[in-house]
A and B are shown apart, each in its own frame.
Chain A
Amino acid sequence: MATSSVSKGCFVFKPNFKKRKISVPIEDYFNKGKDESEDSKLRFETYHLIWQQMKCETQRLQEELNKNLFDSLIEFLQKSHSGFQKNSKDWGSQIKLREIPTAALVLDLKHFLQKLVSQLMDCCVDVESKEEESAQKKTHCSMDSLSSWYTNVTQKTDPKMPRKKRTSSQWQSPPVVLILKDMESFTTKVLQDFIIISSQHLHEFPLILIFGIATSPIIIHRLLPHAVSSLLCIELFQSLSCKEHLTTVLDKLLLTTQFPFKLSEKVLQILTNIFLYHDFSIQNFIKGLQLSLLEHFYSQPLSVLCCSLPEAKRRIHSLSDNQCENIRRLPSFRRYVEKQASEKQVALLTDERFLKEEAQSLLENLYVYHTNYFLVLRCLHQFTSSLPKYPLGRQIRELYCTCLEKNIWDSEEYASALQLLRMLAKDELMTILEKCFKVFKSSSEKQLGSTAKKIEELLAQFQSLDEAKEEEDTSGSHSKGLQKTDLYHLQKSLLEMKELRRTSKKQTKFEVLREKVVNFIDSLVREYLLPPDTQPLHEAVYFSAAHTLREHLNAAPRVALHTALNNPYYYLKNEALKSEEGCIPNVAPDICIAYKLHLECSRLINLVDWSEAFATVVTAAEKMDANSITSEERNEIIHARFIRAVSELELLGFIKPTKQKTDHVARLTWGGC
């Protein structure tokens, strides 16, 4: 595959398409080595099941989130061509109808129309069960043919198809809806012409345009001059902001016990960072989630246990000896064993049956831990999300990340948050507590043993608090001064409070209660928000291979390129290339030598110096067979090799020719600044 072209250009080589039938079932890809293959099928099935569930959930979520938008869009579509249907004799309607109703959701003309015609006809051919047989000639894409086609179709359907009538009774002449995704990327000329043309044909061809806009709606005015935009009748519909979308997705997929699969702090951080810093794409986020799910089931043999609790218990019974050994090897399990009494330790390490029973109870504990964890997390989030400056983050995902990473109560932010909580005014505290109450109440039925009690206690606490508050209301109104919520005032009043406390130790009832609430929250956090790696067997459900995920999702081609050029041994695995850090192995490929030399230069590189340095390095390597050819010939060869290396570097984007100095090239990468 080569071209004889000398000019620069882009050539497309289509691969020889060979039809190979791969009959390997997908689950076989889960067999890494022969020894680990035991549960691979089961693991794949579990993966498949969980993913299906998660997918359903996300789809449901997205439908729900966009429901409002869809509803208002449909309403808009329905009413927008009522004027066309009524055929009203209203004197104004004739003028007004010149406006194409346009909804703004936040090629060249010929191709554009061609696409339009072919797509419309296609979709209608499907609907009308291939009534329209005549294959339109491609060149015949004018608005005239479109509108004549339209009248044909609408006339045909009305008398003939009673089934269709259900819809066409209200849509006597159904409008044609044209959706333009990414309005920004259309050529303005095409769009303008199209709008002008279709506005002239609006009487026989009812058209509704829907523009999808990713930036702000002002773009409409920027793309279309007033003469054109005056032909449109624009209404705006705004979809949900993508950050809110992410919050909901996280809430429903990860902050729940519905799905056994969990992400570790690092993985979650990578996924959210890609979302927030790179693309704002929910789709990519969910793809990333899917990848981590797949990777988890692929790489962790114990992921068979990552399923619903009863199922997991059943599976433990049928675990093989190898898998039991895998359990024993888990770091979290080893830590757990070390804490046990010595007889139990022996039993755990030798008796399979005992191990299985123990693992069952551990899994149960893990489940209970998660149930409590999310409740307490939500509760804590209620408290911290309204604090000034958000010491623990505004979003629950930030709080979740901190809690996953470490003991949250050791962090400074937590201490300052608690301190701010101690400053809260009464009504704020009340509303937060009510919200927390709702959180606990909403899922109290699902609670298991120990937590149910905890909630009862909590409820009692709330009640006593409320009563106490009522009393407090009559007694005094000390808290009035603390209603302001900006940080400066809070800190100031905090200092004053300290002074006050030092001088007069007496506290009001409210303050005592507030202290109690804060301490209560603190104790809840300390009891339930332990990081997951303290839990035995957490490896079965937590995916923590952040490194793999980053490699797959956030590729760093430049780093790879640098590694290849700087340390060729890394990829080539040739012993001769092994070298100390910083020095150039003279047997390395030419481009590596040139690259290493160029790293030492500043912004402008003198080609002569560079070539001489290159020659020195290269000749040092070739001393032994130097006698075979004359030195002049050898110099020419080295020169050619140098030229090639330099042009390869130029192709890779490290240098470019410059006109600032003769015989120099400019560096494009950094190092010289």
Chain B
Amino acid sequence: MAHLENLVLCRESQVSTLQSLFGERHHFSFPSIFIYGHTASGKTYVTQTLLKTLELPHVFVNCVECFTLRLLLEQILNKLNHLSSSEDACPTHITCETFNDFVRLFKQVTKAESLKDQTVYIVLDKAEYLRDMEANLLPGFLRLQELTDRNVTVILLSEIVWEKFRPNTGCFEPFVLYFPDYSIGNLQKILSHDHPPEYSADFYAAYINILLGVFYTVCRDLKELRHLAVLNFPKYCEPVVKGEASERDTRKLWRNVEPHLKKAMQTVYLREISSSQWEKIQKDDTDPGQLKGLSAYTHVELPYYSKFILIAAYLASYNPARTDKRFFLKHHGKIKKTNFLKKHEKCLRCWVSDLQRPHGAPCSAECFLSCRRTFLPTAFLELPLITSLVTLQLLTLVGHDDQLDGPKYKCTVSLDFIRAIARTVNFDIIKYLYDFL
């Protein structure tokens, strides 16, 4: 048991609850246990280490991977088959299509000598995916013990509370176990636990303390913190390696690493630059400011007409239809006509006669932007432009996909983005937006 406590930190109460639930090997356990808690709160790790160290027969399945019923059930059965017939080198592959078959096959498999007289555990990780599968699956798993008449316990792991799972037809209520978030003390303890062998535990604990001081406000994800700790540790040891400071010289070390960590928070943590790039920077000691992050590349190149369609779509998405007249009618008075119309009237007119009008009569600029409300394919020559904008996720199709004759689109870009686009075609979009009047 002491061994287990070394492996699983800060989860003593949960471990003891689970252990008492499991009982002795031959005891019947609770039919189904539902464990939930936030990301990286040790659900999977605790269950896995517990089952492994106690050497209980178990099957561990990740539901993300098993995206169909068949894959899920077959995986469980085949893994069980492996467990029961460990002496046979090559057990036959079991195929299973429905839950009904599963129950039958499960009985067969658990008949084996090695699985007799002890509880078999089936752990379903990311159980929230079960909700999207067949309706009988979740209730079926919850009362698997009853259905198969075998000593079996199903453990469901999820990040979502049990209330969101409950099917409306009712089901067997599982035993619900909550894994609370780690406190800062817990995090400190866990993170300090995996210190590198070449440095003392205290030295590493001091480092973790600094790290948590910087990152705890933004991130409590243990996995992420571990990753960051590993990534930035070489920088922390740098003075020690160079011989400029001793391991005890915490203040100096802190001053060295703190700005570095803050920079990391803005870059690596947000995945602006990759961790391999970050390591390279660390090694070469270059200024990270030189390396542009992902969001520095905001510039999008679009063909001229696409830009106009995008602008028109943006206006159409965010201006109420009744304000069209106000913005685009020449002598409406409310707005003083900008130079834009005079300057661009020619190009817009071309655009309009090309795009919107089946007849070649001259048309004014207001037509162009107000006729955008009818994005009809037959009336719209530039449909390829629109579809390309949709694939770029700048426009999205709203309404039903199957509507062939009147698709409607909505512009999904941000105001900053559309302003940048409008600036390249010398269009002052702010003056045409109802929200800015």
Contact = CB atoms under 8 A, between A and B. Distances in A.
Nearest to B379: A653
Q: Which of A143, A241, A562, A653 has the most CB of B within 10 A?
A: A653
B300 A277 contact: no
A196 interface: yes
Contacts of A80: 276
B358 A559 contact: yes
Given A8-B404, A242-B301, A277-B303, A217 B295 contact: yes
A91 B196 contact: yes
Given A182-B391, A229-B271, A143 B305 contact: no
Given A182-B391, A556-B381, A143 B303 contact: no
Q: Which of B230, B297, B358 has the most CB of A within 10 A?
A: B358
A232 B392 CA distance: 22
A557 B68 CA distance: 46
A558 B227 CA distance: 59
Contact of A217 (B39, B297, B305, B358): B297
Given A96-B227, A221-B295, A184 B393 contact: yes
A478 to B, nearest CB: 38
B194 A669 contact: no
Interface stretch (B19-27, B29-37, B111-119, B368-376): B368-376
Interface string A173-210: 00000000010110000000100110010000000000
Interface string A1-41: 00000001010000000000000000000000000000000
B71 interface: yes
A406 to B, nearest CB: 20
Contacts of A220: 294
A262 to B, nearest CB: 26
B393 A669 contact: no
A277 B70 contact: no
B370 A234 contact: no
B67 A234 contact: no
Contacts of A557: 381
Interface string A639-673: 00000000000001110100000000000111101
A627 interface: no
Interface residues of A, number: 71
B394 A670 contact: no
Contact of A233 (B197, B274, B379, B404): B274
B188 interface: no
A91 B297 contact: no
B359 A562 contact: yes
A584 to B, nearest CB: 15
A139 B95 CA distance: 11
Contacts, number: 158
A235 B224 CA distance: 19
Contacts of A95: 226-227, 230
Given A558-B358, A652-B378, A670-B356, A215 B67 contact: no
A581 to B, nearest CB: 12
A214 B392 contact: yes
A229 B275 CA distance: 12
A175 to B, nearest CB: 14
Interface string B397-430: 0000000111000000000000000000000000
Given A233-B276, A673-B367, A558 B381 contact: yes
B336 interface: no
B128 interface: no
Q: Which of B67, B304, B381 has the most CB of A within 10 A?
A: B67
Q: Which of A102, A242, A599, A673 has the most CB of B within 10 A?
A: A673
B64 A193 contact: yes
A280 B385 CA distance: 11
Contacts of A232: 271, 274
B356 A236 contact: no
Q: Which of A10, A218, A220, A599 has the most CB of B within 10 A?
A: A218
Contacts of B299: 216
Interface string B271-284: 10011110000000
Contacts of A96: 227, 230-231, 275
B357 interface: yes
Contact of A142 (B71, B305, B378): B71
B305 A280 contact: no
Interface in A253-307: 275-280
A673 B70 contact: no
B65 interface: yes
B79 to A, nearest CB: 10
B13 interface: no
Contacts of B205: none
A668 B375 CA distance: 9
B366 A673 contact: yes
A314 interface: no
A280 B303 contact: yes
A276 B304 contact: yes
A200 B379 contact: no
Interface in A353-391: none
B17 to A, nearest CB: 27
Nearest to A194: B64
B84 interface: no
A99 B378 contact: no
A49 interface: no
Nearest to A99: B275
Interface of B: 39, 62, 64-68, 70-71, 75, 194, 196-197, 223-224, 226-227, 230-231, 233, 271, 274-277, 294-295, 297-305, 354, 356-361, 363, 366-367, 370-371, 374, 376-379, 381-382, 384-385, 388, 391-394, 404-406
Given A221-B295, A653-B377, 12 more contacts: A95-B230, A98-B227, A196-B64, A215-B393, A217-B297, A218-B297, A276-B303, A280-B301, A566-B359, A652-B378, A668-B376, A670-B356
Interface of A: 8, 10, 80, 91-92, 95-96, 98-99, 101-102, 104, 106, 109-110, 139, 142-144, 182, 184-185, 193, 196-197, 200, 214-222, 226-227, 229-230, 232-236, 238, 241-243, 275-280, 556-559, 561-562, 566, 599, 652-654, 656, 668-671, 673
Q: Which 3 residue pairs of A and B lie closest in terms of their CB atoms, listed nearest first? A: A653-B378, A562-B358, A92-B230
